[in-house]
Amino acid sequence: MPDAPKRAPRAKILGGAALVFAAALVLLFARGRGGEGAPPKKEGGQTPVAITQGEAPAAKLTVTDIGIDAAATPAPSGTGTITLGWGGGDHDVGRLRPEEGNPEAPMSLVLDPKGNVLVLDQVNARMLRLGKDGKTLGIIPVPLRAAQDVAIAPDGTMAVLDRLGDKGIAILGPDGKLIGTLPLEGKGIDEAGGLTGVFVDGKSVYVEREHGTLVRVGDTSGVVDESRPELPGRPSRDGRLLLSAGITDGSAGRLFISAIERATEEHVFTRELRMGMPIVSIMLLDSDAAGVVYLATLAEIPSGDEPVPAVFLTCLSSGDGQPGHTVQLPVNASADETFREMTVAPAGGVVYAHRTESGMTLSRYDCR
């Protein structure tokens, strides 16, 4: 597999509605921020961007303390754990450790309609399909030089994103055969390197521009959309909302989540969440088929001279953004470059890829 180009930094903002609500949040919080320093860097030296300021609407803001007691919230044991080794075997995934350049682990994962896990192993230029019992059901070749993300349609068709090498999306049938390729650059997308994800909504294929607006580039039959309409946020799986989230003040542990009604684009809620500890990045913003919203953050628990990194998964109501339970997940301590470390199952809960020196485990966690 040819050397992949360097990856662009990931940003803090998730979803296009952040462009609409961010200015209101900035204005509301400005008095309390004082002389805030630069936002913390994500592991591996990635620096998140600042919140984009747009026109502020008359939106009601609700402030909520999540109330995490880190000392009393140990990482739970995941269920349905699948263990994979490092390598190129049928039950392995690739890990790259170059002398120069970024170390890499599998970039992304997703669940298919039958509940099987697909792991994007770009080091070995393939995807592994793993059954619920952990057995390898199949190996799907990926016809792209630098695949980073994958999304799947209800019928099992897959969209694989390469924003840096081939700058396109490979559409693969449920059998893994290539259906077609959708180009990325064009109307609405001047530079594919700034894309931050691929999403399938029904038969439509979207890419996310700088953790903001989603641009429709085609459909799952491989037909290119020259008109490229846009969505101001990530569509919820129940089809009702467009979601966005962002970090307002990382050092103070403050972030926001917003939702607008998809059919009318009317504001539903904007809620500031206070974690009580510094936030490094947002790792996940997604929902399940019932509309439950899942938010995962990488945070730092204060502890002596050196803070302890921690991953927290919070479930929120799609009606008003009210947070429910929060659970703590194990941290990926290594600096391997990845694109998406967890994914939401349509029926609820998440699958999280945890890396160790001996291999990678896929475990299911729930915060409902």
One-letter amino acid at 242 equals L
Tell me the pLDDT tens digit for each residue of 296-312.
Answer: 999 999 988 899 999 99
Q: Which residue has the higher pLDDT, 1 or 285?
A: 285
Percentage of the chain modeled with pLDDT above 90: 73
Compute, in degrees rounded to 10, the torsion defined by CA atoms 188, 191, 197, 198. 60
Residue 105: is its pLDDT beyond 50? yes
d(CA 321, CA 126): 37
Neighbouring-strand partners of residue 141: 126
How is residue 99 written in tokens? 């002398």
Tell me the pLDDT tens digit for each residue of 111-170.
Answer: 999 999 999 999 999 999 999 999 999 999 999 999 999 999 999 999 999 999 999 999
Query: Could you tell me the pLDDT band of residue 205, with boundaries at 50, 70 and 90?
Result: very high
Q: What are the residue ranges spanned by the domains of the chain? A: 17-365
Stated length of the chain? 368
> In this predicted structure, what is the pLDDT of residue 53?
30
One-letter amino acid at 31 equals R
Tell me the pLDDT tens digit for each residue of 216-260.
Answer: 999 999 999 999 999 999 999 999 999 999 999 999 999 999 999
Inter-CA distances, 180 with 105, 142, 149, 157, Å: 27, 12, 17, 11
One-letter amino acid at 230 equals E
Kindly state the DSSP code that residue 72 receives in the 8-state scheme: G
> In this predicted structure, what is the pLDDT of residue 15?
55
Q: Which residues of 168-180 are buried (b: 16+ CB within 10 A; e: fewer)?
A: bbbbbbeebeeeb
Residue 56: is its pLDDT beyond 80? no
Class of domain 17-365 as given by CATH: mainly beta
Percentage of the chain modeled with pLDDT above 70: 84
d(CA 184, CA 162): 9
> In this predicted structure, what is the pLDDT of residue 304?
84
Tell me the pLDDT tens digit for each residue of 59-103.
Answer: 678 999 998 888 887 888 888 999 999 999 999 999 988 877 788
| pTM of the model as a whole | 0.85
